Structure 1
Amino acid sequence: MSQKKKAVRKLMPGLILAALATSAGTAGAAGFQLLEQNASGLGNAFAGSAVVADNASTVFFNPAGMSLLPSGKHFSASLDMVRPQVKFADSGSILPLGITRSGGNGGDAGDWAPVPAVYFVAPIDARWSFGIGAGAPFGLSTDYDKSWQGRFHATRSDVKTFNINPSVSYKADDRVSLGFGVDYQKIDAQLASTANLSAALCANPALGALCGAGALSNLGAPVRVKGSDWAWGYNLGVIVQLSERTRLGLAHRSSVKYHVTGNVDFDKPTIAAGGLISPATAAGLNATLAAAPSLANGAVKLNIELPDTVTLSMSHRLDERWEVLGDLAWTGWSKIQSLDIYRSNGTLLSATPEHWRDTLRLSLGANYQLSPTTKLRMGLAYDQSPVGDTYRTPRLPDGDRTWLSIGAQFKLDANSALDVGYAHLFVNKVGIRDNGHSAVNQASQGYLIGNYDNAVDILGIQYSLAF
């Protein structure tokens, strides 16, 4: 066995564990879907994702592609670095009850995050192949300044998924290949904001004098909801060789239903005596906050279904140098209509209307074989957002986006290759008018009015080996 093969076998378990442990959530595609499951497809804006089968990452995009890989075992490891820009500009927001400090626009709520993935494929016999992959198909991360204008709506949102995807493929004949995989997927979620204690206290008529004098203004309690769950899903696909130069692929990934359980924690401040607040009054206020059921720490639960996807892809080789690729993908985001968090006793802790809609994504790409060892890639895509203007929130102030991508593949030797890619995503400027969709919510959270200027940059690198 060569030293290279030995090294890959030694590294493989560690790389899979690293992918599961370090996958960070930062959406590149619309919503919080992460298309960044390899770097070889990044240069084409992931056009042809369900039909390209030139390395082991086909396990994720279409497991039928495993049957089309050259004979032998295949290994791929990729790392995509995703950097969103999420910048809010206020245009007349209304502060909630009891709050007099606006706190600013929140800074850039985006930051660099890694999205790693690893894959391995091995033949079983002349028709059957087995593969396994590990990566992060969904993710979200926004992090505002803790005292920003919209802190009573959101301060931090962090969603990570870890997916293990064993798969098999079957080569029916020289034209048709089929594939099926099972997904065992974990979600970790953390949602943070600030609870408006001033509004809660000033709802008590007995405290009217203190509230009117401003003695109970600008009181907030940072609150964090954190939970996780494991769930099952599946993916399947078919690839048809229409002619020597043309290939068609169809892939489906199922939705995944989670029953997330975790905890809510309130960091309640201690109200000090002084000015209009006597020691006895301060003691009473602190006792009220400590005993308030709505501010109690404890167990919580949340049901959420992440969407299914259907992707139709085509590739066509024009000549010995040029290849064109295309994708039309549908994502079932309409399964997310409301984000409702309950305490373990069934009491509603918070409800956020979402009313997301299903989306389409269209991508076109081309490859140019510059030399026997170098392939150049380019891509263009238009990606619809599931978020409408009426229900946009600062947790995911999403908009339609256009991808421009470039990349290259360098053959290191007869059996290994290095892929690199870069994409810039132009996100449409969008507005937000979020008052929680009720007078009660506006009193406690305020009315966030403004615009978002967003963009995304993605850098990717991938190593692939056949052995």
Structure 2
Amino acid sequence: MGKIVAAVMLALLLTGQQVSAAGFAVYEWSARGNALGGTTMARKADASVVASNPAAMTGLNGTQVMTGLVAVAPMATVSIDGRQSADGKDNVWLLPHAYAVHQLGERYWLGIGVYNRFGLGTEFDEDWAGSDSVYYAGIKSVSVTPVLGMKLTDTWSIGLGVEANYFDFEQKKTVAGTYDLKVRGDDVGLGVSVSTLYAPTDWMSFGLMYRSAIDVHPRGEAESNAPGGLGDKLNGDADGEITLPDSWSLGMCLTPIDRLSIEVDVTRTGWSSYEELDIRINGVNPSGPVFKDWKDTWRLAIGAEYALTPAWDLRAGYVYDETPVRTERADYMVPANDRQLFSAGLGWHGDAWSVDLGYTYLLIIDRKGAEIHVNGGDVETADFEDGDAHLVGMSVAYRF
């Protein structure tokens, strides 16, 4: 399994990431989870609970491994001042994942996961009307999370985890209407998680998880083709800092009949930690920091799983995901609004192998009159329209 995890981690580092949750959080941690709207905190577990609720590992036997991939194809249109519109470029962004869980005894489980918790991929033509703000923004973020699960009683378990988050940021824009500026930097930040699973009856269970904030300080280089003194200011060492938000997640699963489970999850994310984007070149920000003033958000999800036969499961889910971006502080990097996700999927499981497939349609609610603060202090208005994405995922697991 070590070779699988290493290979998936390399793929994650080399693959562009696309935001598919409000802000630039990512919840595409398994195909089964996608089909269920992410509601895997309190229901029957698989190895991907390393990401969603490590306390639920205590429901697994022996050793289990999983790997898979989610492909995301997004699209959005931006109209500036009601006159000029631009479509985001057609791209397919790939989000791999890999997990391993091992039972140590009657009371302890160890797990490790390699997956994405944050990601962004926004790209327009280099000469579009908003290029002086951005024409490309990318975040590649890979989380490696060793976790420990402990069964305290027959009905109550807890999970503890450490997260190493590799964070790579890249931005491209034009300067003085003519020249290109590219800034890129990366860093590794550390965080922790605490989770619990409580099942007072065989038909009801609860999951709770807290993830800490993570401070990252990307450092790298700025490159520009600007000449003379302007070029001197725009070429050199680059650095910045950002606090990735903390979050609380709560899930409740009900099993009204043996074949059917229904789970409702709610997540509160502390996006207010993202106050500004301050990218310094040679110790100075040429245009000053960009104030973000994001707000904390709620994500509400419901998912149902029905056993068609002993080997086949049918799944469906729905998510409403709030955006942290205020209309008066909108951003071409994240040209979006609140989102709705509609998902479905199918799972097959044998004695040792299992295969999960999931599809999600993500609909972004139009945003009219978004205020964009551009260089020089000017404010222009924009409409974000026709935003959506198709997500297709597959996971393969083996138990031994």
Same fold (TM over 0.5): yes
SS in 2 for 1:405: strand
Using the aligned pairs only, state the percent identity: 25
Does the Cα contact within 8 Å between 1:312 and 1:328 map onto a contact in 2? Answer: yes
Contact 2:81–2:380 (CA under 8 A) maintained in structure 1: no
Q: Does 1:176 align with 2:156?
A: yes
Check conservation: 1:110, 1:141, Cα contact below 8 A: no
**SS state at 1:106 partner:** strand
Does the CA contact (< 8 Å) of 1:392 and 1:432 recur in 2?
A: no
Instruction: Please say if 1:423 is aligned against 2:381.
Output: no
With over 3 angstroms needed to count, the CA separation of the structure-2 counterparts of 1:358 and 1:435, relative to structure 1, is closer
**For 2:257, what is the secondary structure of its paired residue?**
coil
Residue type of the partner of 1:462? Answer: S
Instruction: Name the CA distance, whole Å, in 2 between partners of 1:393 and 1:125.
Output: 50
Deviation at 1:91, TM superposition (A): 4.0
Structure-to-structure mapping, 1:285-324, within 5 angstroms = 289-292=227-230, 295-324=233-262
Alignment of 1:405 with 2:343, yes or no, is yes
Matched AA of 1:459: V
Residue equivalent to 1:84: 74
State how far apart, in whole Å, the 2-side matches of 1:260 and 1:10 are.
28
Pick the aligned partner of 1:447 from 343, 356, 380: 380
- Residues 231-246 of structure 1: matches in 2 within 5 Å? 231-246=189-204
Cα deviation digits, residues 169-214 of structure 1 (max 9, x gap) = 1000100011011001111110110001xxxxxxxxxxxxxxxxxx
For residues 189-228 of structure 1, what are the structure 2 equivalents within 5 Å? Answer: 189-196=169-176, 219-228=177-186
> Structure 1: where are the runs of 5+ without partners?
1-8, 94-103, 197-218, 269-288
User: TM-score, normalised to structure 2's length?
Assistant: 0.95
* Structure 1 pair 28–431 and aligned structure 2 pair: CA distance change class (3 A): same
CA displacement at 1:427 relative to structure 2: 0.8
Distance 1:91 1:347, change over 3 A: closer
Q: 1:10 to 1:361 in 2, by over 3 A?
A: closer
Match of 1:255 in 2: 213
Please identify which structure carries the higher strand content: 2
SS of aligned partner of 1:398 = coil
Q: Distance in 2 between matches of 1:190 and 1:144?
A: 14
Secondary structure in 1 aligned to 2:289? strand
Q: Identify if the C-alpha distance between structure 1 residues 291 and 18 changes in structure 2 by more than 3 Å, giving closer, same or farther.
A: closer
The aligned residue for residue 208 of structure 1 is none
Q: Does 1:144 align with 2:124?
A: yes
Q: CA shift at 1:365, angstroms?
A: 1.2
Q: Secondary structure at the match of 1:65?
A: helix
Distance 1:293 1:10 in 2: 46
Q: CA deviation at 1:433?
A: 4.2
Corresponding letter in the other structure for 2:53:
N
- Per-residue CA shift, 1:147-170, capped at 9, x if unaligned? 111111110000110111011110
Please name the residue that 2:51 is paired with: 60
- Give distance in 2, aligned partners of 1:110 and 1:253: 33
Higher helix share: 1
Distance 1:185 1:141, change over 3 A: same
Q: Is the contact made by 1:237 and 1:252 (CA closer than 8 Å) also made in structure 2?
A: yes
Structure (1 or 2) with the larger CA radius of gyration = 1
2:91 aligned with 1:111 = yes
Q: TM-score, normalised by structure 1?
A: 0.82
For the residues of structure 1 that align with 2:200 and 2:389, how far apart are their CA atoms?
A: 36
State the Cα distance separating 1:457 from its structure 2 match.
Answer: 1.3
1: distance between equivalents of 2:352 and 2:217? 44
